[in-house]
Structure formats: structure tokens, C-alpha cells
Amino acid sequence: MRAPTLEVHITPEQLNAALRADAERGLTATPKWLPPKWFYDARGSELFERITQLPEYYPTRTERALLEEHARDIAAVAMPQILVELGSGSSEKSRLLLHELGARGTLEKYVPQDVSESALRDATRRISVEFPEIDVHGVVGDFTESLRHLPGGGSRMIAFLGGTLGNLVPDERREFLAEIAAVLGSGEHLLLGVALVTDPRVLIPAYDDAAGVTAQFDLNVLSVLNKQLGADFDLDGFRHVAVWDPVDEWIEMRLEATADMTVRVADLGLTVRFAAGEQMRTEISAKFRMSGISAELAAAGFEDVQTWTDDDQRFALVCARR
Ligand code: AVJ
């Protein structure tokens, strides 16, 4: 076993500067909004782990079942020497792919990327122990920045799982898919895990569970601003709202002010006013249709799109060749 290596493309200072810029932009906009990437501090990541185990939150377990069932087919289609995983978190899902890719004997290297250096250190260590014959190289950074630093030296498959593509608004998504297409050479692959449009009676509870874990996760972004930017958000003054937008076909998570409020964000020298009932968007989670995602991939320059879905058609694994 070779010890895992780590490459850092984002420092804590850069991360803080990015948070400041996002908070300043979102909190001074009308309507107010915050990007979902700031949910995931240590507590936010822990709350997300709990969400994945809720009875109402089907995406994670549906994707896992699809990977268990079809990792072998995906391996046969893509046969990569290098597996790159964007937003790898705990690398839990990639283990299923690594088993099958490893079994085919083509895989040489696993490159997980995440913004969380601590999550990546733990994951790379665990994966190298479990897969001693695979070279493990972690990349700390955000997805777009990391795409510019992808290793070469073999044919690659980029995996972007968990439905995180749905957090991007359509313009960002188009740009992101185009960037992936630009870094991949002909014959290399992209593997996406995307949640599909389904009954709102299934979708909404997945983002507004009975135990209130998603509400805590949503509110956690305010704690992040309190801790990182010296803000004084009163978490009890906000409530979690999940709305299905049937036109854009995405779930919107919002935080609603329950009373008129003035919030001070010390590190930005900013005073923000909320009116009672005002809603601030904290996440979009787009749901896809097969035809839509195939068309987006084709428009970005991918071909031979293959898909695997569960019987209820709630989630899809999509593999496309560059
Ligand atoms: C990790 C971004 C895919 O959008 O379903 C879970 C995050 N938000 N519950 C999603 C999330 C609320 C999740 N992603």
C-alpha cells in the first residue's frame, strides 16, 4: 500500500473570502438568498448524514441500491484507469464503484475531491487501507477549481453523485457540464447520479421530514454565518420551508423570518433587515427527466448516454462518453 497523497487548492482563508463574498451578495439581494455549499461545516455534514438515513429521504438509499446493482455494468462501459469523484465527502458510494473497477483490473488511481480537508483526509486513509492496490490522491478544492487540476496519465471517469448537480441553477449547470466536457478527452466518461421528477407528495417530505432534521440542516447555515462572519442571526426567529416549484421542477428550501428582525453581520459591516414572513432561499435541488438530462449532456458534447433507474423512477445513474 502506498500512503494516500493530498493536494490543496483552497486554503481556509480563500474559503472564508468566498463565504464573505457569497453572504454579501445574497443578503443584499432582493429576494435574499444563500448558496447551499455553506451548509456543510462539521455540524452541517453530520446533519446531512442524518438526513440520508431518514425514512422520507429516499435519494441516498436509492442511489446506493443502483450502484450496488449496476456498478459492474458501469465498469464494463467506462473501464477507466482513473476514477475522479467530485464532492466525494466520505467516499462511501465510490467504494461500490472501486470494488467493481478494481475487480476488472483496469483501475490504477482514485482521485476524490472535496472542499472539506478533514473529510478528505479520513476518506483517503480509509480507502487506501481497503484498496491497497489503488493509488489514492485527494484534491481539496471546489469542483470548478479542481477540474483544472485533474491528473492525467490514463483514461478517466469523473463521477458526480448524490444528486448534487441539482444544486446548480440551469446556467451554472450548463457551464459546469461544458467544463467537464472540456477537460475530458475523447473516450473518457462522466457518471452522474441525479434525482428524477416524481410525485410532490414524495418529494416535499424528503425536504421537510417529520423529525425536523432537514429544518435543523437548513437553519445551520445561519450558525455558519454567526460563527464564520460574526453575525447575530437568532435561529429561533426563522422557520424552515420546502416548496416544490412545478415550472422549474426543483425543490426550494427557504428560511422564513417569523417576525421583523435586524441582523448584524459584523465581519461584513453589514446590517440586514428581515420583514415578518420574508423568505430567503437557501437551496435549489433540481429534479431531472431522462430526456432533459440526456439533452443537456448532448449539448455539452457527450455521446452514448446510458442510464440506470430504480423501479419507481426516482433516481438515475447516467453514464456518458466524451
Ligand atoms: C446533497 C445536494 C444532493 O439536494 O437532496 C438534502 C442536499 N438538502 N436535504 C439534496 C439536501 C436537503 C442534497 N444534495
Whether residue 202 has pLDDT greater than 90: yes
- Phi, psi at 136, each rounded to 5°: -115, 125
pLDDT digits (tens, 9 = 90+) for 30-82: 999 999 999 999 899 899 999 999 999 999 999 999 999 999 999 999 999 99
Is the pLDDT at 256 greater than 90, yes or no?
A: yes
Q: Any residues with Cβ below 6 Å from ligand 1, and which?
A: 51, 59, 162-164, 166-167, 207, 214, 283, 285
Alpha helices in the chain (DSSP H): 12-27, 42-52, 59-78, 94-104, 117-130, 143-147, 170-183, 200-206, 213-229, 290-300
pLDDT tens for residues 261-295?
A: 999 999 999 999 999 999 999 999 999 999 999 99
CA of 46 to the centre of ligand 1 (A): 13
At residue 152, the 3 state secondary structure works out as: coil
Residue-by-residue DSSP string for 43-90 = HHHHHHHHHHTSSS--HHHHHHHHHHHHHHHHHHHH--SEEEEET-TT
Q: Is the ipTM here above 0.95?
A: yes
Ligand 1 pocket: which of 164, 203, 213, 244 to mutate (most atoms within 8 A of CB): 164
pLDDT attached to residue 150: 85
